[in-house]
Structure 1
């Protein structure tokens, strides 16, 4: 009696491990709050880029006969300011300055502070002590007072605002990066790389940076919203962007005298600051969860 012939077993295809970046993207897609915040932020960025095409392209010109028109006025969707300038045009053009003020200081601080933090954490010893004690000097001053003092010395303007906020954010990024680098400096894979003859630069580039980037990037993303608020605050105090530049903080300062006449029009720049900063904070929280970065 012949044995039954077993059906052929299909070959087992190896399952490729998902890359960490793919896992992060997958988790972000499932987070509706983060995706909504990303969508709103992307919309604000696209409006800022396409400002000449979605507005009349004249953020500085106005008509004194049409000053402080309410929202919904014909020809002025969001009304006009105290000089008769179109609020929609100025808000869209103001997004350019406010977004630059929010992104540029964080990127500069990330480049400088991240480099100093990796050097301090990897080298240790006197190098670590010199860098970290220097950063402690900046920690002795509250962030807002340090930004005001820096702007007062450098003078008003976009570049001064970016430089002042970069000075404020660099010490905290140095500390985050130094802590993460010190934690992995003694790991087995670092020692194995040294034993294999890899140079310090190669170890930092291929072993240290990929393992410290998650907490540093998450923390840096959380600074973007704060940077927008601080930049607007400096302009509101007259230390940042000066008139007639359409920057949200400066617009809020010029419209505060009109809050009892057209409160909704006067509140529009503050609303834009609030919405944009909240979106960046929500995105930062979503990245933290997606990257499994623990608090503290």
Structure 2
């Protein structure tokens, strides 16, 4: 099959009992993701006190989660719920690029937040100098450039493949791994997947070592509490991915696909919830905005009555 006439068919969820209920669940997850991430971005934008370098990274994470969910979930629902399993070759490459760009940017964004926590705990007196708006904007912009170039290269390799027999992808989206397995010529690239995780682990190893030097347990706990939200995000993002790619070959194909799809849609839904529940500044901002909205509605009603 020549690449220009390639028409992929995604049959990842075929044969799973009561799969329609899973589509309803995906739709619910998508709605929560959109509402949650939009709310977090709105709060950061509206509250001047949250316009700090740290929340520049949080805003970018919410934006990436929103775009990633919108790139993946609606297409998945359309593909399977409305029986549209086929996708043209160029559309498949475009879909792949946006999905992997957003997934990759999520991990690099966690690196930016990890650096923020590292400097805040190890060099608290120099935090304002080391972590500035200009630095955070430059760091995130450089991550975007790296991620976009890396995924363009990955998609570029796909265009060099020829497909000999099957055009059925055993996944729920245009998965580059599945496409390489279908190819009859071997051009599989070597891609570094775990560089962001390695940096995060090294950062927290250093943070743990620094906290062990603090005299009192109360001070250690207080310092560590500032990292709980970020650590939760890291766990939600990386643990399912590690499980999927370490034991994924030993589990049933359908179970692997379900697990991989949950890995893709859960972090964008849970990230804003975690930041709202575990970050005091955002909770205070939400309360201020809700209070202001309530007072505004009361004032409008009074004006209408008069």
TM-score relative to the length of structure 1: 0.29
TM-score relative to the length of structure 2: 0.29
Q: Which has the larger radius of gyration?
A: 1
